[in-house]
Amino acid sequence: MGIQTALDLAQCNPEHIRAQYSVVLARTVRELNGESCIELETSQVEQQQILCSRSFGQRVTNRGALREALVRHTANACQRLGSQSMVAGQYSIFIRTSPFSGDPYYANSINERLPWPTDDTGVLLNRADRLLDHIWRDGFRYAKAGVMLTDLYPLTANQPDLFQEPANQPRRQELLSLVDRLNHERRGTVTFASEGQKTGAATAMRQDRLSPRFTTRFDEVPRARLD
C-alpha cells in the first residue's frame, strides 16, 4: 500500500485501514493523529501471560539445538514469573519455520495443564522435551521457537493441591530464589545443564539492526570531538 513510515500510516483513512486489516490498526492511525482511542486505566491489571521467544540467527534443523532453545526460554520465563511472585497453571511451547524464506512452511504448538500451579523451573523443564516430541517434524528449517506461561496466579493466592507434596518446598523455594538473585545480578550466572553451552544457531541473536545502547554501555557512549 506504499506505507513506509509512521507518517504514511497516519495519513491513511482509518476506516479503509480497518476494512483491510483490523480495528486495532485503525486505532493506531487515529492515535497517530492525536485522537485517544484507549482509556487510561489507573488500576493495576494482573498479567495474563508470560511469553519468551526468539528468532534464530540461522535456521535450525537439529532437534537437540531446538530443545536447548526451548529450555532457555522456559528458564527465562520462570525467572520473570518468580520476580513477580506468581505461579503458572499452564505451560505451552511453539515452533515454526519462516513463512518468507521459500522453505516448506510448518508451525505447531502444544500446551499442558499443570497438575498444580508452580514457578519451579525444574518442573517445567521436565515437560519441555516430552511436549517437543509431539510437534517436532524432521526435514524443516526452523526459524523461531518459544514458550508461554498462562493461567497465572499470585503466589499468595494460590490454593495448594490435596496431593501436592510439600515436604521439600521450603528448601526448594530457597534454592530457586537464590538462583534468581544470582541471575538478576548477572544474567546466565547459574543455568540448568539442559540449557547447553549457549553456542550455535539456536542461541545466536540477529543483531544487524540493534539500536544504540549508549544509555547502558560505556563503550558505546558517543564522543564529542572538536575539529
Q: Which amino acid does the sequence have at 160? A: P
**What would the pLDDT profile of 110-127 be if each residue is shown by its tens digit?**
999 988 888 888 888 888
pLDDT higher than 90, residue 79: no
pLDDT tier for residue 73 given thresholds of 50, 70 and 90: very high
Stronger pLDDT, 147 or 225, i.e. the higher one = 147
Q: Taking the model in full, what pTM does it have? A: 0.61
**What would the pLDDT profile of 12-26 be if each residue is shown by its tens digit?**
999 988 888 888 899
Give the three cell numbers for residue 72. Answer: 532457555
CATH 1.10.274.10, domain 49-156+164-195, yes or no: no
pLDDT of residue 22: 85
Q: pLDDT averaged over the chain?
A: 82
CA dist., res. 126 & res. 12, Å (int): 50
Where exactly are the structural domains of the chain?
A: 1-40, 49-156+164-195
pLDDT higher than 50, residue 167: no
pLDDT tier for residue 81 given thresholds of 50, 70 and 90: confident
Check if the beta carbon of residue 156 is closer than 8 Å to that of residue 73.
no
Alpha-carbon distances, residue 204 vs 33, 161, 207 (angstroms): 39, 40, 9
Chain centroid to CA 207: how far? 17
pLDDT higher than 60, residue 216: yes
Q: What is the DSSP string of 62-122?
A: -HHHHHHHHHHHHHHHHHHHHHTTEEEEEEEEEEEE-TTSSSPP-EEEEEEEEEEEE--HH
Check if the beta carbon of residue 161 is closer than 8 Å to that of residue 153.
no
pLDDT of residue 119: 82
pLDDT of residue 209: 66
Q: 197: exposed, middle or buried (C-beta count within 10 Å: 0-12, 13-18, 19+)?
A: exposed
